[in-house]
Each structure stands twice: as structure tokens, then as C-alpha cells.
């Protein structure tokens, strides 16, 4: 009888451990899938139906650098490379905050800052995502460039649609 009781307790502890391990892994699903290099297209934000594309690289620590970036229909404005951070992950959902200076396309002088908040979800297969992005524009100049206060941004100037396609995932190397 004592052996049966130990067997039942062992069996229950194995089931409990397996269940909690799977549950713990589920909270990190989006974080695991976001790590890698993405081709990102943002639409619904520029005049005349313009769009912009860039490359986003997300590291395991939550850093999301958005580099390159070319715009169509940007009306004389260009973006700088944009540092970003993954600020929330939950299930298949995520939030990324990105910061970029805006500059005059001819002179290169900064004339504003763009703060973009992507709220999206990883799609089936983890090879793509869709998101909605709130874009906030703050006036800046060489003479006056304060740090943005993200808690008091107010209403976004624009809401855009974002799609991402995974280009590459990092290789896990065990030494």
C-alpha cells in the first residue's frame, strides 16, 4: 500500500511539473519567436498612400534595432536608424517602442522625433506578425531637443498598420 501511495504521489508530481513547465514556456512564446531579423512594412501613415519599409533585428534581451528604412511618398522627410525595445510580451502578443529622429531630406537637420508604439501578435508558424502602430511626433531642433516623456504623449498623430516577415533566426550554439 505504501508503495502504491508513493507511486501515485510521484505520478502526480510528474504531471504537476510537466504542466507548470509547459505553462512557463507559454509565457515566453512570443519572446522566443520575436528574436531574429524581420522585414517590416508600415502602411497608412504617409501622404498619398505612401509606405515605408525597414529591417528590424530583435535580440533575446528585448532590444529591437530598426535599421535602414526607405520611404515612398514621404514628402521630404527621412528617418534615422531607430533604437527600440520590446516593452511587453504576453501569449502571442507584444509591444515594441521605437524612437527615431526625423530630418529634412535635403539639409539633414533634425526637425522632429517620431515615437512609435507597435502593438501586435505573432501569426501561426512564427514567420510573420501583424501590428497596429501609434505614431507620435514631437517637434525638435538642434537648439531644443529634450528627452521625450512617454507617459505624457497624449493622442497619437497617426495610427498605422504594420506587417513583418521573418528573414532569419539566430543559431543556438552550445559550447
| Grid coordinates given for 104 | 529634412
- Position 124 scores a pLDDT of 81
Query: Which burial class, exposed, middle or buried, applies to 89 when counting CB atoms under 10 A from its CB (0-12, 13-18, 19+)?
Result: buried
Q: What pLDDT is stored for residue 29 in this prediction?
A: 64
- Of the candidates 60, 80, 66, which has an alpha carbon nearest to the alpha carbon of residue 118? 66
Q: CA torsion 7→12→15→18, rounded to 10°?
A: -90
Rounded to two decimals, the pTM is 0.73
Q: How far is residue 12 CA from its own chain's centroid?
A: 39
Residue from 45, 115, 54 nearest 74 by CA: 45
Domains of the chain in sequence order: 29-168 (2.40.128)
User: Residue 114 has what pLDDT?
Assistant: 85
Q: Name the helix (H) or strand (E) containing 58.
A: strand 51-58
**Stretches in the chain below the pLDDT threshold 50:** 4-25, 72-73
CA distance 133 to 54: 14
Residue 106 burial (C-beta neighbours within 10 Å; 0-12, 13-18, 19+): exposed
Amino acid at each position: 500500500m505504501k508503495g502504491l501511495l508513493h507511486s501515485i504521489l510521484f505520478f502526480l508530481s510528474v504531471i504537476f511539473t510537466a504542466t507548470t513547465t509547459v505553462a512557463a514556456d507559454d509565457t515566453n512564446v512570443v519572446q522566443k519567436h520575436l528574436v531574429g531579423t524581420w522585414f517590416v512594412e508600415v502602411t497608412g501613415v504617409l501622404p498619398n498612400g505612401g509606405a515605408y519599409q525597414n529591417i528590424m533585428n530583435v535580440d533575446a534581451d528585448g532590444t529591437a534595432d530598426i535599421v535602414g528604412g526607405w520611404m515612398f511618398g514621404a514628402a521630404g522627410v527621412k528617418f534615422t536608424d531607430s533604437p527600440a525595445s520590446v516593452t511587453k510580451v504576453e501569449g502571442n502578443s507584444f509591444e515594441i517602442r521605437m524612437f527615431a529622429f526625423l530630418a529634412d531630406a535635403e539639409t539633414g537637420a533634425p526637425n522632429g522625433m517620431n515615437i512609435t508604439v507597435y502593438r501586435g501578435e505573432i501569426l501561426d508558424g512564427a514567420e510573420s506578425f501583424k501590428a497596429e502602430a501609434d505614431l507620435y511626433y514631437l517637434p525638435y531642433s538642434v537648439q531644443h531637443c529634450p528627452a521625450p516623456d512617454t507617459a505624457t504623449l497624449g493622442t497619437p498623430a497617426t495610427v498605422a498598420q504594420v506587417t513583418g516577415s521573418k528573414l532569419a533566426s539566430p543559431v543556438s550554439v552550445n559550447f
